[in-house]
Structure 1
Amino acid sequence: MSLDTPQTESRSERLTAHEALQRLEHERASRLTQLRAIGEAGRDAEEQVLSAQKDTIQRVLTEVEAAITRVRDGSYGVCQNCSKPIPVERLEILPYAPLCVPCQRSIP
C-alpha cells in the first residue's frame, strides 16, 4: 500500500490517541536521551558535528511536542495542509508527521 495514496479510513484503521501518545512519548524520550548523551560527550567529540546533531534532535523534539498537542486537541493524523487523513502506515513510521506524503513532497 502506497503512503501517498489517499484513503478513506475507518476508525479501526487509524491509530488511537493512546497508541499515538505511546509512540510520541517514545520518540520524545529517545530524543531527550540523545541530547543528554551529546551534552556529556561534547567536550571530547568534534563540536561542529555534535552541534548539527543537537540541532536536528532539537528540531525533531519540537515536532514531537507539536504532535502531542495535536493528539490532545483532536487534530492528530490529519494533514495540516490538505486536511485529509494521514495514512496510518506513515504515522507508524513517523508518528510526528504533520503532513501527508503528497503535501510533504510539494514543499520545496
Structure 2
Amino acid sequence: MSLDTPRTESRRERLTAHEALQRLEDERASRLTQLRAIGQAGPDAEEQVMSAQKDTVRRVLTEIEAAFHRVRDGSYGTCRTCAKPIPVERLEILPYTPFCVPCLRDTA
C-alpha cells in the first residue's frame, strides 16, 4: 500500500500528541546514540565518512526538534506544503516528516 493512499479500513487519521512525542523522543535518542558512537570510533575511522555521518545525524536532529515545535503549536501531522493531514502510516515510519508523500515528490 502506498503511504499517500488513505486506508479504507477504520483507522485513526492522526497520532495523538503523546504518541508523536514518544516517537520523536525515540528518534532523538537514537540519533544522539549514533553521534556518541561516531565520536568514539577512534582514529581508525575514515574522516570523510565520519564527517558525513555526523552531518546527517545533526540534520535529522534538527528535523526532529522542528517536529517537537509542531507538536507544541498544533501543526504536527499537517503537510507544510498542501496543509492536508499526513497519513498516520507515514508518521509512524518517519515521525519528524513535515510533508506528505505527494508534496515530497513534488519538491524532489
**TM-score, scaled relative to structure 1:** 0.91
Per the alignment, residue 44 of structure 1 pairs with 44
Question: How many residues are treated as equivalent by the alignment?
Answer: 106
Tell me the residue number matched to 1:82.
82
Change (3 A) 1:77 1:13: same
Gaps of 5+ in 1: none
Give the equivalent residue in structure 2 for 1:27: 27
Contact 2:20 2:71 in 1 (8 A): yes
Q: Which range is displaced more, 12-21 or 38-47?
A: 38-47
After TM superposition, list the pairs within 5 Å mapping 1:9-24 onto structure 2.
12-24=12-24
Aligned equivalent of 2:71: 71
Question: For 2:68 and 2:28, how far apart are their aligned partners in 1?
Answer: 10
CA contact (8 A) 1:67 1:97 kept: yes
Q: Is residue 2:3 matched to residue 1:3?
A: yes
Contact 1:42–1:50 (CA under 8 A) maintained in structure 2: no
Which residue matches 2:59?
59
Q: Aligned residues: percent identity?
A: 80
- RMSD of aligned C-alpha atoms? 1.8
Could you tell me whether the CA contact under 8 Å between 1:35 and 1:54 is conserved in 2? yes
Q: State whether residues 78 and 99 of structure 2, in contact with CA within 8 Å, keep that contact through their aligned partners in structure 1.
A: yes
CA distance in 2: counterparts of 1:53 and 1:42, whole angstroms: 14
Alignment gaps of 5+ in structure 2:
none
